[in-house]
């Protein structure tokens, strides 16, 4: 609680960025935001949940990171067998040119999806959800959209900072290009996974590799610095990320390991998005990364890319991954599945 208050104090005091001292900031008074009655009871429960306690945790040693990450991964993994059974998908650990991954396959794979493959990059601020625990979202889209999904178990800090995660992702992408035609391949992921999805396309462009037929970065961590309006406007409203200060800030630093956070490989909003494949972006009105999402959408549109945006009522950051069976969350996956179905070759 003391730590929570200290971080809150920093948050409140650091509001007025020095660069804009000449422009008066908006002083928003304390206010009450009720649980909206415009969403389903299942989504109301997610919205009414207290702040994710992780947001105040900012480990400073490798040991402290593991003490946070390992029990969370074990807990998350426990829920997966039931999820796979309910969504009728199987999961198989595989190794792709030395990189660990999981192949998630629907029991009833529709003929239209037999030659298609989605590459999945999990979220968790570059530090959370190692091993099978990162496959939750892959299971949801494989089950709801009935796609085959190859979920990358990329290396992470504190043991492996940038660029290990991106190196692993590109190894899998190179291998995926041998498993299907580029037009039959998609890439998707949420939060860090959304940022990495964008960074993978940037790096594929740079390295002259083929691009996927479509991508689905969900509320992507497109700017790892505290840049973008909703880092401020949705702070303490979003109950998943809550605020930049604390866990997010610490995760950015341990991942970057001294590297420039504004390098497009870390913050893809600063990359050249021309030539990107059709893109579907997902966010929520309470999302701390709403600006991270709409800034990418605008930049893609400016680059002439077919890019669609879905913003869900009252939804905090990536809350659709908390319960894929809430009607609005199922809709998130259905929209993404429809988008891939529309844009990927058969």
Residues that bind a second copy (CB under 8 A): 8, 11-12, 15-17, 19-20, 23-38, 44-45, 47-48, 50, 227-230, 232-237, 239, 285-286, 290-291, 294-295, 297-298, 301-302, 308-314, 328, 331, 335
Distance CA 249, CA 251 (A): 5
Smallest distance, a second copy to C-beta of residue 283, A: 8
Enter the tokens of residue 122: 């999990």
Beta carbon nearer to a second copy, 19 or 82: 19
Distance CA 39, CA 41 (A): 7
179 HSE (CA, 13 A, CB side): 20
Smallest distance, a second copy to C-beta of residue 14, A: 8
Smallest distance, a second copy to C-beta of residue 258, A: 24
Smallest distance, a second copy to C-beta of residue 311, A: 5
φ/ψ of 217, rounded to 5, equals: -80, 115
Task: Determine the distance from the C-alpha atom of residue 87 to the mean position of all C-alpha atoms in its chain, rounded to a whole number.
Answer: 21
Long-range Cβ contacts of 52-58 (<8 Å, 24+ apart): 52/239, 52/240, 52/241, 52/242, 54/247, 55/241, 55/242, 55/243, 55/246, 55/247, 55/248, 56/3, 56/4, 56/7, 56/246, 56/247, 57/246, 57/247, 57/250, 58/246, 58/247, 58/249, 58/250
Beta carbon nearer to a second copy, 31 or 178: 31
Residue 275 is classified by DSSP as: T
Smallest distance, a second copy to C-beta of residue 331, A: 7
Beta carbon nearer to a second copy, 135 or 279: 279
Smallest distance, a second copy to C-beta of residue 327, A: 10
Instruction: State how beta strands 279-284 and 214-218 pair.
Output: parallel
Beta carbon nearer to a second copy, 147 or 270: 270
Beta carbon nearer to a second copy, 132 or 341: 341
Beta carbon nearer to a second copy, 167 or 263: 263
């Amino acid at each position: 609680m003391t730590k929570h208050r200290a971080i809150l104090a920093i948050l409140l005091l650091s509001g007025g960025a020095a660069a804009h001292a000449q422009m008066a900031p908006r002083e928003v008074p304390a206010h009450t935001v009720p649980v909206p009655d415009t969403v389903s009871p299942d989504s109301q429960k997610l919205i009414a949940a207290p702040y994710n306690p992780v947001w105040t945790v900012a480990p400073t040693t490798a040991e402290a990171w593991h003490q946070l990450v390992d029990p969370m991964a074990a807990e998350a993994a426990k829920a997966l067998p039931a999820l796979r059974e309910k969504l009728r998908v199987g999961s198989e650990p595989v190794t792709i040119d030395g990189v660990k991954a999981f192949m998630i396959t629907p029991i009833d794979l529709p003929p239209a999806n037999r030659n298609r493959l989605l590459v999945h990059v999990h979220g968790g601020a570059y530090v959370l959800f190692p091993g099978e625990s990162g496959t939750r979202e892959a299971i949801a889209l494989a089950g709801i959209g009935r796609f085959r999904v190859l979920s990358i178990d990329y290396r992470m800090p504190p043991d492996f900072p940038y660029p290990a995660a991106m190196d692993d992702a590109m190894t899998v992408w190179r291998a995926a290009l041998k498993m299907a035609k580029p037009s039959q391949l998609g890439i998707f992921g949420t939060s860090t996974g959304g940022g990495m999805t964008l960074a993978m396309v940037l790096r594929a462009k740079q390295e002259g590799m083929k691009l996927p037929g479509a991508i689905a970065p969900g509320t992507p961590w497109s700017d790892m610095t505290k840049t973008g309006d909703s880092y401020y406007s949705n702070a303490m409203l979003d109950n998943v990320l809550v605020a930049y200060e604390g866990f997010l800030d610490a995760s950015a630093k341990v991942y970057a390991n001294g590297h420039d956070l504004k390098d497009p490989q870390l913050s893809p909003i600063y990359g050249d998005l021309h030539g990107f494949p059709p893109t579907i972006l997902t966010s929520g009105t309470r999302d701390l990364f709403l600006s991270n999402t709409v800034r990418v959408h605008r930049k893609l549109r400016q680059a002439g890319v077919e890019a669609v945006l879905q913003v869900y009522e009252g939804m905090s950051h990536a809350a659709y991954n908390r319960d894929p069976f809430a009607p609005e969350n199922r809709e998130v996956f259905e929209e993404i599945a429809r988008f891939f179905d529309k844009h990927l070759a058969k």
